[in-house]
Structure 1
Amino acid sequence: MSADDSLTPEAWGDIKELLAELGTLSPGEREARLQSLPADRVARLQPFLDVDTGVVVPPATPGVPPTQAEEILAGRYRIERPLGRGGMGTVDLAHDLTLDCPVAIKRLSNLWLPDAEARRRLVREARALAALNHPHVARVHDVIDSSPPALVMEYVEGETLVDWLELPRAARTVIGVLRQVVEAVAYAHTRGVIHCDLKPGNVLVTPDDRAKVVDFGIAQMQRTASTTRVGDTTVAPAFTPRYAAPEVKQGARPVPASDVYSLGVLVDEVVDECAKAGAPLPPPLAQALRRASQAACVTEADRRPRDGAAFLAMLPTVAAPDAAAGWRTRAASAVLVLSGCISGGLAVTGDGSALRPASLGGGKPIVVAVVPRVDDASASTISAAAADFLRRSLGTLTRARLVTADVPAFKDDVDTLVKDLRFEGLTYVFVPSVAPTATGVRVSVAVRRAAGGGVVQTFTEEGPSSALGAITGRLASQVRAWLNEPARPPGGPVYEPSARALGEYSQARQYLERPDKPEAFQLARELLERAVEREPEFAAAHAELSRVLVLQYRARRDAALLVQAQAAAGKAMRLDPGLVEARLAHATTLQATGQRADAISELQQILKVAPTHDRAMRLLGQLQAASGAMDDGVRTLREVIALHPSWQNYRALGTVLYDAGRYAEAEQEYRECVALQPDNPFAHQLLGAALQKQNRDAEAVREYERALAIQPSAPAYTNLGTYQYGLGDLKAAERAYRKAVEIAPQDPLMQRNLSDALRAQGRAREAREGYQRAAELAEAELRVNPQDQTAQSLAAYAWARAGNCELSNVPSTRIESAPSPSVDGLIDVVNARLICGVVPQALVDLRAIAAAGVSLSGVLERDVEEAAPRPVRQFVAGAASAGK
């Protein structure tokens, strides 16, 4: 049966209404709705089901060959294959022979075009839409005035907003996508175009998190065509009921405020979908979005934001911070959619077709990374070494950006790879593999989409195993050409290590990506020591060895390790003073020994040569904040996160914010850490510390327990013990603190906390011995880095508790005179000052803590508060009553 003139106006209106309803339902709901209908209504509806994307037809029907494989439209567009069918017609993937790029062709069904005048009106309106030019609007490129007419539209590779939200997404990424959608609508409104059918199915999100609003004006075109009279009745325009404004449902002509209503419904759904995906938006952010949604969804159009621009002004740009509250503990942290087809048929999800990056458009650079293999096979086939050769051979890119650090490895599990990469902001990843041949090796580079893991291109070269560098150099040239990058200019002589030494170096670098794994540092150190022993001129391996030794020093507090790190960095600088990794190793040792100004200067020089180097930017941001330039430090760290949202970068920003007493903001960064590496115990411990500082104890304890379930760690035990200490369960606190001391006996914080539990139980002699031990350990750290505020504050507090106020005064004064004293440091110093009877300075420090927005409730130890003079107790009580 087909549509014909025998349909009565009433029957035709019934069909249109049912198609609109079915298009808003899930597949299961659609099937149930069809089964609920009388047989005669289903019979009338059946001929139209195969042209309605929202009902039954997938992008390609198995067993049915394409009918337009060789068809060329308008002498320019070669039809490649069907993409889907929509309510207004069919959609095909085509190739623009003039511009050499893919496009989507929507051929409009005559069901909606009963006469020539309707077709002419529709074509005029489509040409008006072609004037829209915005990075977040899927464009109409051309209109083919044929019978039926066809629209040539931008081919967008991506997934619908609904599908995109099925995975946990970072809050800032969600807000970014939402704002892009509203920006597109606001732009169209300034040009007199109303979407008329805004819904999640008409929003695509590309692999690099760019929103594209599709089918702009299509519903209005449908309205234009369908206002033609059928018999004696005017056919009602189609819309999606859930998202349609009340006036649209009542038959009024849509206005910009009608689109705003649809946006309000969409925003409200996004908040819900984030929660369903296990990544709820931060409460202040969710509340701000709910308020904007409520303003947009009022019944009267004239009471809503008048257009997209007005609604955009109501949307938050970042998560609003919660009010910070205090806690005495220190964070041990210096420690509708069918598969493949969008409603309307405009775009499809990635299907493995090898699109060249230049076709992505949108004005944003493509972000790529070389992902090494670290599975069992890679150890024998030196694939990890090939990854480093390839990364070095690619050199500087101009049209794409190459991420060079903190990228998860590939272990033959594509699903895991995609999950690990989902927050990395990448477009493509290059995965090299090396396999032995009869005469040498075969090196292949698979180009995978970061969003789905599908292979879009493969490059292969063969040669002798001793020429791995030359082989990967040829592959790098092919990859650069694929990226539309100019050929790399020849450079000066570069030291190329043997494949074996490079393999050891590359494998060590992968161990360093997971410092939470037992023995990761030691395994990396052993590999690097073998590499430099095998090839003493391998400067990059010396630099990486220096990095490992610094990390081991921070874990073990053994000053000899830092001396060795300085020697390795010096060796790397002598071998290749222009090597970025060598200079970064040198900057890291300067930072570790408290030479902040020199370290900052060195990092700034590095960034002149490599302006987007992750580790250099991260370390610079941390040092800027520690030197008193907090705003500069936070800005630098946010910039590096925007370039590369990795675990290490989020942790660095979170810790800087935490040290400044900005606990709610730190919480959001630590939540990103948990989302990126949910099996990393330190991520949960850091999040727990930020929650505990906000007096959200139950949530904090859950995070500590999660951390300990993954791997016992001293920071998690000591923070859990501090929670129990606050409850007055001193025995439980002592047990937790002792476990922390067993794991990290050289950490003064662990010794200090255990001493607090002993003192509170009246075991004064044991406590005094413990405080003495904590103070000595802190002083040992200060001999290495005199600017270490964590060690300074611990020494100040421990010496005061041990009864030596003279020694306590030195680190106390250093903290107080620091350009940017940490809040935790000041808390320790206040207690030390009051223990030693230095009341005026304690009041100054209390005012500084309150000025940072931290509650003074819980800042003083119980015995210190009880013994404090009246002015101190009055100030604390007054600050608490004032809500500070």
Structure 2
Amino acid sequence: MRSPWQFVLGLVLTLAAVVAFGGRGIAAAAWGNAGFVGLARTALQGGSAGSAAQALERARLLAQEAGFARGLGRLSMLQDRQAEAIGSLQEALAACPEDRIAAFFLGQALWQAGEQEPAIAAWRQAGAAPYFVSLGQRLNAAGHLEEAMEAWRLALEIDPQSWQAHLEVGRALRRSRQPEEAIRELAVALDLCPLEAEVQVYAEMGHAYRAARNLDRALWAYRETYARLPAGNAYAYLIGSILYEQGRYAEARQYLCRLLQGTPHAPSHYLLARISIQQEDWAGAERELAQAIALAPSVPEYHEWLGEVYRAQGNSQAAVEAYRAAFCLAPPESRARERIGGKIQALGGELIGCEGE
């Protein structure tokens, strides 16, 4: 008979297993070679104390029968005896059909044995799609996108309703410069996801539509994202940048100014300067560029456009100084340097050496 501390430890490990597999159903975790208590669905779903106690007692009895078979199955897997592992794990599931841990290991054993369809069926019984979504995320973070895509595709075979898997596949397709395919995956994710997750999907849809140069749909998706986040969030900039591209300067200015009310943001000041240049408001453009440079002094474009503003006002000396700053910030032997150098020479300035070169 188990001591109380073994029971408590078993319960804790069982809860961890339940959380890992979605928090539903009966899960039994292996303890040594004997196995131990699994939690029953009624206990997990907050039934009465009496029904929970009965469910736990039933799970304990099932675990005594199933846990040993599961342990043998896992041991056989570790020793590459797949046929024995499959038999033991199937025996464990016959004793306790809702044992998700055994179902997961059965899927693993079947997959290693080359039986892919039965493996997917076992993983489906285990509710293992979230595991493969997480595995794909870890692989992607390590720079293994191809393997990550395989994990996410497998998650979708296990559970076609996994909005997380559709989201990850859509995000990966967009980053792989396949925006149209990404949009299709993200549309499915949006249909399936809970309300609290919509903001993630709308944001990705905005990026995908923008990559596809569908600015109207990108604007729609970014506005949906913006509406679901606290006021003055960074999506105001993305909305403002699209409105700027569309020549809707007054609307763009509104969104950019909303962001700047609570957040210093050099790109927003830069876009406001570009709007002012379009409207030949040179003083406004100079003011916004000065603020952008104060926040991000190493961006060559900001200095170059400040030179353009000075040049438009007839201040050639100030324009040359701004161009020189942009010239030295641009990468050596780049087209940007060649272009900016031409502007300096056109105003009668000399190309001087840059510090550190």
TM-score where L is the length of structure 1: 0.23
Does structure 1 residue 393 correspond to structure 2 residue 19?
Answer: yes
Deviations 1:43-76 (A, max 9, x none): xxxxxxxxxxxxxxxxxxxxxxxxxxxxxxxxxx
**Secondary structure of residue in 2 paired with 1:761:** helix
**Deviation of the 1:660 alpha carbon:** 2.9
2:180 is aligned with 1:631: yes
The match for 1:585 is 138
Q: Secondary structure at the match of 1:671?
A: helix
**What SS class does the counterpart of residue 666 from structure 1 fall into?**
helix
Between the aligned partners of 1:476 and 1:711, the Cα distance in structure 2 is: 49
Amino acid at match of 1:606: W
Corresponding residue number in structure 2 for 1:759: 308
Q: CA deviation at 1:654?
A: 0.8
Write the distance in 2 (CA, Å) between the matches of 1:689 and 1:769: 25
Q: Work out which of the residue numbers 220, 231, 256 in structure 2 matches 1:704.
A: 256
Aligned residue for 1:368?
A: none
The match for 1:659 is: 211
Give the counterpart letter for 2:201 in structure 1: N
Give the structure with the larger strand fraction: 1
1:729 paired residue number: 281
Three-state SS of the structure 2 residue aligned to 1:707 is: helix
- Secondary structure at the counterpart of residue 722 of structure 1: helix
| Structure 1 residue 738 corresponds to structure 2 residue 261 | no
- Percent identity over the alignment is 19
Which residue number in structure 2 is paired with residue 670 of structure 1? Answer: 222
Residues 538-577 of structure 1: pairs in structure 2 closer than 5 A: none
How big is the alpha-carbon RMSD for the aligned residues of Structure 1 and Structure 2?
4.3
- Which sections of structure 1, spanning at least 5 residues, go unmatched? 1-385, 400-472, 495-577, 591-597, 780-794, 805-834, 836-884
Residue by residue over 1:642-676, the C-alpha shift from the partner in whole angstroms, topping out at 9 and shown as x without a partner, is 22252222112112222332111111101101210
Q: Counterparts of 1:616 and 1:743 in 2: how far apart (Å)?
A: 38
Residue 340 of structure 2 aligns with which residue? Answer: 802
How big is the shift at 1:682? 0.8
Taking a change above 3 Å as real, the CA distance of residues 769 and 664 of structure 1, as seen in their structure-2 partners, is same
The CA deviation string for residues 530-560 of structure 1, in whole angstroms up to 9 with x for no partner, is xxxxxxxxxxxxxxxxxxxxxxxxxxxxxxx
CA contact (8 A) 1:768 1:801 kept: no
Equivalents in 1 of 2:307, 2:176: separation in Å?
Answer: 36
Counterpart for residue 90 of structure 2? none
Secondary structure of 2:261's counterpart equals helix
The whole-number CA distance in structure 2 between the counterparts of 1:728 and 1:589 is 48
The residue type paired with residue 660 of structure 1 is A
Give the superposition deviation at 1:692: 1.9
Using a 3 Å threshold, how does the CA distance of structure 1 residues 688 and 728 change in structure 2: closer, same or farther? same
Gaps of 5+ in 2: 1-11, 26-38, 49-95, 105-130, 312-318, 344-357
**C-alpha distance 600-665 of structure 1, shift in aligned 2 (>3 A):** farther
* Counterpart code for 1:664: D
Question: Per-residue displacement from partner, 1:373-416 (whole Å, max 9, x unpaired)?
Answer: xxxxxxxxxxxxx9xx78962724899xxxxxxxxxxxxxxxxx
Task: Go from structure 1 to structure 2 and tell me whether the alpha carbon gap of 1:803 and 1:398 turns closer, same or farther (over 3 Å shift).
Answer: farther
- 1:158-557 equivalences under 5 Å are 393=19, 395-396=21-22, 478-479=44-45, 488-491=98-101
Give the letter for the 2:320 counterpart. A
Deviation (angstroms), 1:800: 4.3
CA distance in 1, matches of 2:151, 2:21: 19
Could you tell me which residue of structure 2 aligns to residue 602 of structure 1? 148
2:201 corresponds in structure 1 to 649
How far has the Cα of 1:579 moved from its partner? 6.9
Paired with 1:691 and 1:604, the residues of 2 have a C-alpha distance of: 38
Alpha-carbon distance in structure 2 between the residues aligned to 1:390 and 1:775: 52
Describe the superposition over 1:323-348 as per-residue Cα deviations: whole angstroms up to 9, x where unpaired: xxxxxxxxxxxxxxxxxxxxxxxxxx
User: Could you tell me how far apart the structure 2 residues matched to 1:631 and 1:766 are?
Assistant: 41
Give the conservation status (yes or no) of the 8 Å contact 1:704–1:716: yes
Q: In the aligned structure 2, how far is the partner of 1:757 from the partner of 1:717?
A: 12
User: Are 1:587 and 1:602, in contact at CA under 8 Å, matched by a contact in 2?
Assistant: yes
**How far is the alpha carbon of 1:686 from its aligned partner?**
1.6
Letter paired with 1:641: L
Where is the helix percentage greater, Structure 1 or Structure 2?
Answer: 2
- 1:734 to partner: Cα distance: 3.3
Higher RCO, 1 vs 2 (CA within 8 Å, ≥6 residues apart): 1
Q: Is the 8 A contact 1:617 1:640 kept in 2?
A: yes
C-alpha separation in 2, matches of 1:667 and 1:712:
23
Pair 1:669–1:769, CA change in 2 (3 A)? same
Any conservation in 1 of the 2:236–2:259 contact (CA below 8 Å)? yes
Q: Distance in 2 between matches of 1:743 and 1:392?
A: 48
- Change in Cα spacing, 1:605 to 1:758, as seen in structure 2 (3 Å) is same
Change (3 A) 1:765 1:623: farther
User: Conserved in 2, the CA contact under 8 Å of 1:603 and 1:620?
Assistant: yes
The residue aligned with 2:326 is 770
SS in structure 2 of the partner of residue 687 of structure 1:
helix
Q: Secondary structure at the match of 1:691?
A: helix
Shift of 1:637: 1.8
1:684–1:703: 8 Å Cα contact kept in structure 2? yes
Deviation at 1:616, TM superposition (A): 5.3
Distance 1:722 1:391 in 2: 55
